[in-house]
Every structure is written in structure tokens, then in C-alpha cells.
Structure 1
Amino acid sequence: MSPKPTVHGRGAQSGSVSRRFGLAERHDDGDWLDAREEIDGPGPKLRTIVTEERPKTIVSFNQSPDIVFDRSINAYRGCEHGCIYCFARPTHAYHDLSPGLDFETKLFAKPDAARLLRETLAKPSYKPAPIAMGTNTDPYQPIEGRYEITRQILEVCLEVRHPVTITTKSARVTRDLDLLSEMAKLRLVAVGISVTSLDPRLSGLLEPRASAPAKRLAALGQLAAAGVPAHVSIAPVIPSITDEFMEAILSQAAERGVTSASWILLRLPHEVAPLFREWLEVHYPDRAGKVMHIVQSIRGGRDNDPGFFSRMKPQGVWADLFRTRFRLACKRLGMNRVALDLDVGGFRKPSANGQLSLL
């Protein structure tokens, strides 16, 4: 028999602390555990806790040789969407927190992000290039509805004419259509929405607090209709779980005016691998072995390939099959004909006091 879900409405089923850094770990033990709910009743509902933090900078720069951006902003740490496959989960381990349940319930918000961004852009040495948002945690996760940090960042970028790319799994992005449409007229923004499947039940298990697939597709249509460059990302493709939806996702996105698409195969770095294996045993025990066998065949015999370049280029017959299916579907639908061309020439550096420079 497969293990029963222990936490409903969340992606991870456990919250143990990472052992990568030698941290102590505690486990409940004893025969009483089998009768705990019968004796004590159900445990308290797991709540989302948000801590405000005050970093000194907000723009992160990287020199990674296999990603297309060199700077990014993450307004939040942790993500309430709870996507079980999220490659950002291991970052919570750096703070002595669990990449499992802590990652999706113990969140951090950065209310000073817009001010810090303005300070960075005002530096004499700063040279503009597109800032990527949503590369680690989702800028439109549920707590954005309260904090509006992402919106504040977009307001600064529109003011100073700085280009931005956005990746999200939330239909909440349409809240900012007023800003995004104005930025689009100036070639300052492109928005990608990730759609993993078309099955709302499956989506509820994989990414329990993200927008339903239909809402994400509708958001793509709204963006495209408003003139905002809209991109559909089939990410991640999970063999024998979500790959069956690839062509249908592309077709439905194309029907809504989306002309740009991409796909990313499942990645399982560090603690994500055991968390995903646990998820499979709970929800898909009948095919857990098959899924991991295919993943390992694509990743050189391991759960994950961490190597630069190779981590983004899955190998083997299964990867070739997904790649061919995607290419043929795009060709049939007339997708991937629009190149991303954001403008950096209109950037107007703000002064230290927050006013725009005349130079």
C-alpha cells in the first residue's frame, strides 16, 4: 500500500532539515505515533508565516555560462505555490530551514525592494540589461496580493525605462496589465507563464497553490490581447506524468495569440530529488519507478545532472522524443517566430534623491 498524504493542500509531505550543512535533525519516534490522531485529534492546520527582511541590495548578478540573463530580482524567498519539483527549494537550506514544508510555509518578503532597486540603478557604474524576475521564487505568489512588491518594482522600471522579463505560474500577473501594457509599448517587458498540465486535479497535487491551468492560459490570452509579449513555458515536463499535455498546451496557447514557447525537462537538484520521490510514492506509486527510471536515463544515470550546459540539455531517446514533439507542434502551430528584443537604449538613470537624471 502507498503512504497516505500527511499534509493536504501543500506540495511537500515532509519538512526535515537538510543534511548538506551538518545540521541536527529531530524525528518523532514511538508506537504512540500510530494512534496520535485517534488520541489527540488532527494536528493544527499548517499556516503560512511571512517574515519581512531588510537586505542591503536587491539585484543579484551572476556569471553562469548557461542561462540567458546576468541579473535578477527576487522580491520573496520561499514560495507558497508549493510546486513539488521547484529547483529553488534547496535555497531554504542555507537558512537552516527545510526545503520541504518550510519552503512553502515560512516565507520572506522584501518590502524595501523598490527603493533598493532605485539605488542600484542610480550608481554611476550601472549599465542596463534586462532584469529577470521569477527565476527563483514566483513574483506573483499569493502574498504579492498583500505586499505588492512586484508592482512597486515594475513602477520603478517603467519610470526609468528599464527592461524586465517575468516568469510566473500565477494569473495574478494580469493585475498589473496597466503597467505591463505601457512597458510593452516601450519594448521594456516580456512575460512568460509556465503551464505544466491541463488537468486541474494533477495541478493541485503538483503545484497546490498556483493558479489553475485554465486561469494561466486565460492570463496568457489577456497579455497577448493587451500587446504584451507573452510566452508559454511548459515547465517542467515530467515523464509519464505531464508530458502527455505538451501538444495541447501549445495548441491552447496559440489559440489565445501566444507565438513564443519553450519547454524544460524536470530537474531534481539536492533535496528536491528525495522530496519528489516521496511525492511520487504518495500520489503515483504505480508509476514511481518508471518515472525515476526515465529521469535517470535522461540525466546520465543520476537523479540530477548539475553540470553547466548539460543540466539544461537533457540527453537520450526520451529527451530526443520530447524535443521532436515540441518542435513539430510549434511548426504546425506557427509558434516561436517572435524574437525577444527588449530596449535598453531608453534607460534614464535616477539620481540619488530618487529623481530622474537629466543626462
Structure 2
Amino acid sequence: MNRETALTAGAVGIVAVALLVAGVVPGVLADPTDRGPLPPGRVDIADGLAIQPNEVSGETTTLRVETRLSHRGNTAENVTVRFRAVDAESGFVETTETVALGNLTEDGEIPVRADLTVEREGGYRIETTVFRDSERVDSGRTTVSGLDALTPAYARTSVGFTDSDVLPPVAVSVADAGDERTTLRLGASLTNRGDEPSEDLRVTVVLRQAESNLVAGRTTVDVGTIRPGRTATVDAEVAVPSDYNYYVDAVLWKDDVMVDTARTTANLDPQRRISVDETTEDVELRVEDFESDDGRPQPTSEPEATTDTSSPGLGVAVAVVALLVSALVARRRSR
């Protein structure tokens, strides 16, 4: 066998062995187009966190939080979003909610929502964290405060006392003026600021004597239906002792829940006058005027005035001083 034949046979043998190995062991011959494992797609927060109260009770409120994720590129596996409410003052975690989105394959934005129930007081820091296959890839935060100002569902109503310079929330006039008791006519002005007729409401009016804060009269009246955008007046009468000044407090109730208040004054004392923003002063008060028997005032008895010319505790002192002065004068004259 010549040399050329031997080299040719060797080359053929090597090729045959290579083909045999490639057929038996897959992957030995690399695909020139194979670039290895594909990198995961990009996932991040595309929009800021939106927060709005969803449910409000007496102690807690449920916040509906929403954000949008942006996905670009290859498949992003096992994507989750964690929402967390942290107390703004103490730094304690109040509640946590996690939303699982699974694998993201399509390019675009995905809305993500969750409900966080927190105490209805103070403020919170709402944190948003995005994970891709347990790896943190993006995060954001925002704050919310003043939750105690939210009105619970049971106390919501579109009706309230009228706030106008022309029409006061509570008007007071004299219906009957007597020597001992005066009957006041009270008119509470209510406005429906909503889009639906008013529900069952009632108004309680309390009159307190200005200087003592004693309750002199009280009455409660039902409120009829008030159409949307309309104003109605609820009338009541209360009899109180004459010659006193009173604070008139009106309370609007919805199903035993106080939903609005208003205040005015009634000046029946001709010597003194009060206003809503005025401080009180100490004056003589006869409590008997506010006691009643079958609705009639009790007579007030005043002690007879007496005159006492003596000065207890000063007589002995004055006598001693007089003796000392007389002794000094006599001594000077003897000289």
C-alpha cells in the first residue's frame, strides 16, 4: 500500500469515527446558531401606584392599590408582585398582599391590583416590589395619610345643614314669651347635595344655658324626604326658662349615627348677650329655674337681706391700736 492510499484511508476512518460519535452522543457537534440559554425578559414598574379607599368602616379601611408592569423581550418566569403597608410612624408592617402573575410571554403592560386593609388612623407607606423567579427586579413606594378623615359607610349621607350667610343652619324665633318660660321656634335648614332623594333622617335640638352648660330643653323631629339639590326646613318648638342665654345645638342623625352638627345662640337675657365664638362668664345661676314638675317651673325663694354692722375678727385689733396711739400721745404731752 503506497503512502497516499494510507493517508486517504486514515482520513476516511477519522471521519467515520466522528460521524459515529456524533450519532451516538447527541450534542457533541454544536449548532453554530445556538447561542446558549435565553436571558429572561425585562420586567419593571411602568406606572406609579394608584390608591383609593374601597371600603371604610369604623375601625379599618380597605385600600385598593393598583400598578402596571411592563414586560419586554423573552419569557419572564414566575413573576410576582408584593404590596406592603408600613405604618408611617412606627415602621411596623401592617399588612402584606402578594399577587402571582405566572410566566409573562407577551410584550406590553399588565395591570396588577390588590386590597390592603389597615387601621383607619394616621398614615402608611405603601411599598411595591416586583420579583422574577424569586429575584427582586424593581420596586417603588408612595405614602397615604389622613385616613381618620374618611367617613365610614354607615355615616355617609348627602344631606347636611345648610352653610349660607343668607340662610343660617338653625334659625331661632320666639313663639310665646311668658314671665317665667319662653317658647322658642327652631328651624333647622337642610340641603341634599347628592343625586338621590334623602334617606330616613332625624334632627335633635338641644338648648344649654350658656353660663352653666345645663340642658334646659331638648326635642327630636323626623326629616321628610328631600329631593336632590333641594333645601328643606325642619321646625320644632322648645320651652325654656326666661331671662337666660342659650347655646342651641342641632344634631343630624342617620340610623343612630351622628352625621352633621350645627350651633347657634338664643339671647333671652336683656343684660348679657352671647355668640357662638364668645367665651362664657361667671354669673349667678338659679338652678331651681331649670327644675320642673309636670312641665311647670318651680318657684324660686330668695333669702331676706340682712344688715350686719359688726366686723368679725377686727374689733380687738382696732382697740389695741387705739390704746397704743393714746399712750403715745399722752407721753408726748407729759414731756
Normalising by structure 2, report the TM-score.
0.20
The structure carrying a bigger strand percent of its residues is: 2
Normalising by structure 1, report the TM-score.
0.19
> If you compute each CA radius of gyration, which structure gives the higher value, 1 or 2?
2
